[in-house]
A and B are shown apart, each in its own frame.
Chain A
Amino acid sequence: MEKSKFNFQMFWDQYGTFFILAIIVAIFGSISSEYFLKTNNITQILVQSSVTVLIGMGEFFAILVAGIDLSVGAILALSGMVTAKLMLAGFDPISAALIGGVVVGGLLGAINGCLVNWTGLHPFIITLGTNAIFRGITLVISDANSVYGFSFGFVNFFAGSVIGVPVPVIFAMVIAVILWFITSRTRLGRNIYALGGNKNSAFFSGIDVKFHMLIVFIISGICAGLAGVVSTARLGAAEPLAGIGFETYAIASAIIGGTSFFGGKGRILSVVIGGLIIGTINNGLNILQVQTYYQLVVMGGLIIAAVALDRLISK
């Protein structure tokens, strides 16, 4: 066939997000090179992005099956809160993080998944509801107060780094590799893509649709739960209002990373880049001393621009 001919669209599908990231880095770099491109700052961007990347990867799964998870911010807060409370109750940091992050996150995700399966409602409605419920529970168990004063070891661990790479970054990278493996190499991942591509075909082909929907929301929950652990460690406190509005960042990471809202299309690696783009923009605007309120405006505009550009090129 016409192998030799350069196919821009395919090239864009594969590497488009890298370009957007490169362009954004170039813009900030040229405006404020003295701060922005310093090693310290780049490390800072990576650390700040790790939470966004984590919830973005979870969101990716929900969007991959043509659904959505609006409760990631609330799961992040509740998981972080449970982790802090457990440590105060005398649990060692590792088991607290495992229970708070993986078990609580997974459980909350499973609640989303079960509700979607039982009611047959769109995940948008279910997670809109559970977002409020989970946030409410967080406020109830914390009495709307920050929880702090837990083990320094926990905080220090996440503040440390291994051969120059900060622990939260390694953490997010490990999860990314696991999820990449699941999506691209396992039968489970293939089934999820199939389910996202065509739910009816998936059912007739023998895929247990409800079971896979449940798994998808559990993965999204665990990712948000782990993000909660990281963010609690970074803040040195569990905030009951942590993660408010983070679903925007999560969804943005996934769609800037080229995940199709119609389901069935997208890659974990691109979502990671998508999360980094969000982190970079946040950091760049901070360095340029743009007020937080304006940052939101810029962020929103960039989300729309990035996706519109992608559409334009894909056409």
Chain B
Amino acid sequence: MTTPYIKMEGIAKNFGPVQALKSVDLAIYPYEIHALLGENGAGKSTLMKILSGIYEPTAGKITIENTEYGKLDHKIAAKLGIGIIYQELSVIDELTVLENLFIGRLPIKKTFGINVVDWNNMRTRAAIMLLRVGLKIRLDEKVANLSISQKQMLEIAKTLMLEAKVIIMDEPTSSLTYNEVDYLFLIMNQLRLDGTAIVYISHKLNEIRRICNRYTVMKDGSSVASGQVESVSNDDIVRMMVGREVQNRFRSLKAEIGSDHDDIVFEVNNITSKDQRRVKDISFKVKKGEIMGFAGLVGSGRTEFMNCIFGVEPISAGKVLLHNVDITPLSPLDALKKGMGYITESRRENGFFDNFSIAQNIAISKSLKDGGYKGVIGLVKPGLERQLAEEQRHLLDLKCSSVDQNITELSGGNQQKVLISKWLCCEPEVIIFDEPTRGIDVGAKAEIYKVMRHLAASGKTILMVSSELPEIMTVCDRIAIFCEGRLANILDNNEHIREEDIMKWALPQS
């Protein structure tokens, strides 16, 4: 810990009139894992893009190993050994695992004087790397067939192949399971002991406490604090990030915004997916105003189960009952008309429409519900759509300059609110939230939790899938735990419950 490997001083970055970074100081030493903290929009990703040579800073200097640079470009960054793992996956679905690992830098050998791809060399190195990150997949598997968490681990493996001296990780764990996170941390520790510096961007404070040595907090484009992780409390960090007191996420919201209904509203009986493998014989009952959390490892069948009860995937057996009436949906439209709503796992892929305004995004499902024959017959009324959107904007405290703005101009948290609004205005009785806070900053997360609790208090029944146990323990009344396509157990959520109590049901018993 003598001289920093990378020192960034007074970094500023303007995009036209927008000042994304005002003045950032960041020092990264070898043998450390450095947490970079801040709300979404604080400028973390911009800063990292400057460090990896994608953006040119407007002002400031970067010193790397005693050499001063005004800016970096992609090539210099690669030569200096700066690797980055982006938040959005950059693996290519159409290629195999092997090809993805070596993309852009295929090893070459000479056969009869001609340069050809050295497949044997590739296979050996790839196999070692997969072993190292604990991925049990075939090298020739198409990446499209991998789960999101496997893709994320592959992404990490790809960057590790670079043998970088500095690795930037932008929220690498947002789609990983507990086991995978453990594995990743093991790898990170090894790397650190080998002298690699890691910049770790995450919103999960417990992870930062587990793995990071030092931290830097950013707020509104400036670095506001830096220091040793062990000398600062979680509350301090959150306060520095948001500049205000935020509800401690580990305290149960349930007590604060409780709901007291007793009647069973929603019931699922023996739901089994068409392939009889991913979802097996799921039955449970949920009360009015209750939030049922769904915990489990990624790939345990939770999303698939939600797809089954929403008519997205065909089922081979089972029934869905609402008020004791069989409503087993045949299609999402059917589910919508029968009083269900579904906030999906990935907003961009199957949530919103990037060609629509906020108002149009909010109005679409209501329009389908109200419209005749398959939601086709009828007129759209832009004035009413806007009015509807304004109501929702007020209700959910949606931050936008106008409901006519394109949805892609919003932050992740506000996009999520738009999607919640879209279903709320259909007045469903049962709402499914699948990973509702993925990629959303701490402040917005707390808001989403509050919205969910308020919905429950107003009598809605909520099913919430989440891979973050603290989140489930904060929001839910009961916790259903999935394991390999089965419902392993349902636990009551109370202050005595610990993460281990949930995990022991989620892990496959051999």
Contacts and interface: CB of A to CB of B under 8 A. Distances in A.
Contacts of B360: 190
Given A201-B353, A207-B375, A190 B364 contact: yes
A185 interface: yes
Interface stretch (B154-162, B227-235, B329-337): B329-337
A81 B289 CA distance: 64
B354 A198 contact: yes
A193 B356 CA distance: 9
Nearest to B344: A204
A197 B353 contact: yes
A263 B355 CA distance: 9
Interface in A198-237: 198, 200-208, 211-212, 215
Nearest to B426: A206
Contact of A203 (B350, B356, B379, B401): B350
B377 A187 contact: yes
B353 A206 contact: no
Contact of B374 (A1, A198, A208): A208
By CB atoms of chain A within 10 A, which of B332, B337, B356, B376 has the most? B376
Given A185-B380, A198-B350, A200-B349, A206 B355 contact: no
Interface in B246-290: none
Given A185-B379, A187-B376, A187-B380, A204 B355 contact: no
A206 B368 contact: yes
Contacts of A207: 333, 364, 368, 375
Interface in A5-20: none
Nearest to A184: B380
B422 interface: yes
A202 B378 CA distance: 18
A196 interface: yes
Contacts of B380: 185-187, 189-190
Contacts of A208: 331, 333, 374-375
Interface in B362-384: 364-365, 367-369, 371, 374-380
Interface string B392-435: 00000000010000000000000000000010000000000000
B342 interface: yes
Contacts of B352: 198, 201
Interface residues of A, number: 28
A187 B379 contact: yes
A265 B355 contact: yes
Given A1-B401, A207-B368, A191 B375 contact: yes
A244 interface: no
A211 B331 CA distance: 13
A68 B431 CA distance: 37
A202 B356 CA distance: 12
Residues of B in contact with A, size category: 20 to 34
Contacts of B371: 187
B356 A206 contact: no
Nearest to A204: B350
B459 interface: no
B351 interface: yes
Contacts of B368: 187, 191, 205-207
Interface in B313-337: 331-333, 335-337
A204 B332 contact: yes
A75 B158 CA distance: 50
A288 B422 CA distance: 56
A196 B355 CA distance: 9
Given A186-B380, A193-B356, A194-B356, A206 B375 contact: yes
Contact of A206 (B332, B379, B401): B332
A191 B332 contact: no
B342 A204 contact: yes
B95 interface: no
B451 interface: no
Please provide the 9 A-B residue pairs with the shortest distance between their CB atoms, ordered closest to farther: A264-B355, A200-B350, A197-B355, A206-B333, A197-B353, A206-B336, A187-B371, A206-B368, A187-B378
A188 interface: yes
B376 A191 contact: yes
B375 A197 contact: no
Contacts of B401: 1
Contacts of B332: 203-206
Contacts of A202: 353
A200 B367 CA distance: 18
B312 interface: yes
Interface string A76-110: 00000000000000000000000000000000000
Contacts of A197: 353-356
B182 to A, nearest CB: 32
B312 to A, nearest CB: 7
A211 B356 contact: no
A206 B310 CA distance: 10
Given A204-B350, A205-B332, 13 more contacts: A190-B364, A190-B380, A193-B353, A194-B356, A197-B354, A197-B355, A200-B349, A201-B349, A205-B336, A206-B331, A207-B333, A208-B333, A264-B354
Contacts of B375: 187, 191, 206-208
Contacts of A204: 312, 332, 342, 344, 350-351
Given A193-B355, A198-B352, A208-B331, A187 B312 contact: no
Contacts of A203: 312, 332, 350
A196 B364 CA distance: 14
A188 B367 CA distance: 10
A189 B376 CA distance: 8
A18 B333 CA distance: 40
27 contacts: A186-B376, A186-B380, A187-B368, A187-B377, A187-B378, A187-B379, A189-B380, A190-B364, A193-B356, A194-B364, A196-B355, A201-B350, A201-B353, A203-B312, A203-B332, A203-B350, A204-B350, A205-B332, A205-B336, A205-B364, A205-B368, A206-B369, A207-B333, A208-B375, A211-B374, A215-B376, A264-B353
A186 B336 CA distance: 20
A187 B356 CA distance: 14
By CB atoms of chain B within 10 A, which of A1, A188, A189 has the most? A188
A205 B356 contact: no
Contacts of B367: 187, 190
Contacts of B422: 205
Contacts of A194: 353, 356, 364
A1 to B, nearest CB: 6
A207 B333 CA distance: 6
